[in-house]
Structure 1
Amino acid sequence: MAEKVVLLNGSPSAYTRLNGIRDYIRAGLRGHGYEPELINIRELPAGDLMNARQSPPITRALRKVEEGDTVIILTPVYKASYSGLLKTFLDLLPQNGLSGKQVLPLAMGGTFGHLLALDYALKPVLASLGTTCIEKGVFILDQQVKKRDGLYELDRQAADRLNAALKTLFPQTSISLYS
């Protein structure tokens, strides 16, 4: 399987339910022979991000995106938009840094009132980076991801929406952790 998948996590928090979505995707893709590259933006040097310095960690992260065929972007929604941390990283990509890639935006927020943040805030930025294949995207409520015994669990409705979106990216597979 030659396709390279990159998971770009734009959460500023290490302890976020967004990790449940990330882990669900990683496990599902691994079950079908993919080994997604993970970029946790919060782990990159903050000073280099803020000052647009091309330090080795920043350069490595940008190269992973460049080499990816599919980029899955995860972000929390704050104040009706995607995270500033994600925006800072996206600003470092070249003008056509997402050209020729399939991109799936995924967002998590506290209310469905933030649902349109994908369409009105994130997708225009992705289009400006040359993305021509932006998938519909998935919005998941915070309450649809629970932590039990140290592990995250998506509720069935969220998992079904996520599986449908992943099926558009990987039509030859049926990614689902539910039996």
Structure 2
Amino acid sequence: MTDLRQPASRRALLPTESLAVPTTVLVGNPRRESRTLTVARHLTGALRTGLGDFGVHLADPHLVDLAELGPDLPSRLIAGAAGNAPLEQVLARVRSPGLLVVVSPTFKGSYTGLLKLFLDMLPREGLRPGTVAVPVMTAGWAQHRFVPDAQLRPLLVELGAVVPVRGLAVLEEEFGDLESAVAGWTEAAVPVLAAVLHGCRPPTPLSPHLAEPAPVP
């Protein structure tokens, strides 16, 4: 039965059965425990809360922190073939349908080379159908607010993702109050993401033998 206490705009989106959308958070900062990672965790929590209000329930997010994988990436790219089982499991996780949140600091006006190195290992249109991606970047200057849409969005589209909302840029001066920094963006983005995720076919689960990456706290 429809909850008539919900605003009309939200009632129209509520499904008869809740979705459990697999969620992966890919962080492209080469530094461990970076502020970019902090932003990624905060934003993912905000998305889980906001989408839940629209009846879209995210599964426990899985964190792929490239700072942990950096030493393995060049050899895998040069070899061009599988060889490192944990890395192959991470690649499989990122390719899987669901919500993919990609977060990178701004280096020289673009995303990091580490992120590009990792994504270059995927085949053409390597993100499987049903992947809904959100581009997010941190930056030091206000003039870099448009870098997520100018640089990161085209890369995700090229790989086959649906990118239905504008990218989010979080400036260094906003790190002290992340709730305020992302509030306006989530208010506009969550209804669109909810509608798109409702329209996606149920994602194909990973093979049981694949180990799961660590969940985002």
TM-score above 0.5 = yes
Farther-moved stretch of structure 1 (125-134 vs 28-37)? 28-37
Task: Spell out, residue by residue over 1:71-110, the C-alpha distance to the aligned partner (whole angstroms, 9 max, x if none).
Answer: 1100000110101111111101121112421110000000
Equivalent-residue separation in structure 1 for 2:183 and 2:166 (angstroms):
15
The 3-state SS of whatever aligns with 2:127 is coil
2:186 is equivalent to residue 156 of structure 1: no
* Residue of 37, 40, 64 corresponding to 2:62: 37
Unaligned stretches of 5+ in structure 1?
147-152, 173-179
1:65 corresponds to: 94
Task: Tell me which protein shows more helix as a share of its residues.
Answer: 2
Q: Which residue of 2 aligns with 1:122?
A: 152
Do the aligned partners of 2:25 and 2:101 also contact (CA within 8 Å) in 1? Answer: yes
* Alpha-carbon offset, residue 165 of structure 1: 2.7
Aligned to 1:133: 163
Q: Tell me, which stretches of 5 or more residues in structure 2 are unaligned?
A: 1-18, 198-217
Q: Is the 8 A contact 1:6 1:64 kept in 2?
A: yes
Aligned length: 165
Aligned to 1:2: 20
Q: Which residue of 2 aligns with 1:149?
A: none
Which consecutive segments of 4 or more residues in structure 1 shift more than 6 A?
none
Aligned 8 A contact 1:29 1:36 in 2:
no
In the alignment, residue 64 of structure 2 is paired with which amino acid?
Answer: I
Instruction: Provide closer, same or farther for how the CA distance between residues 156 and 65 of structure 1 changes in structure 2, counting only shifts above 3 A.
Output: same
Pairing 1:35-114 to 2, within 5 Å after superposition? 35-46=60-71, 48-51=72-75, 52=77, 54=82, 55-100=84-129, 101-114=131-144
TM-score, structure 2 as length reference: 0.67
Q: Matches of 1:82 and 1:162 in 2, distance apart?
A: 22
TM-score by length of structure 1 reads 0.80
The answer to which of 93-102 and 103-112 deviates more is 93-102
Alpha-carbon distance in 1 for matches of 2:65, 2:104 = 11
SS across alignment from 2:166: coil
* Contact 1:138/1:162 (<8 A) preserved: no
Q: 2:41 aligns with which of 16, 19, 23?
A: 23
Q: CA RMSD in A?
A: 2.3
State which structure, 1 or 2, has the greater radius of gyration over its C-alpha atoms.
2
Matched, 1:168 2:197: no
The letter for the 1-side match of 2:189 is: A
- Give distance in 1, aligned partners of 2:70 and 2:170: 28
SS at match of 1:82: coil
Q: Percent identity?
A: 28
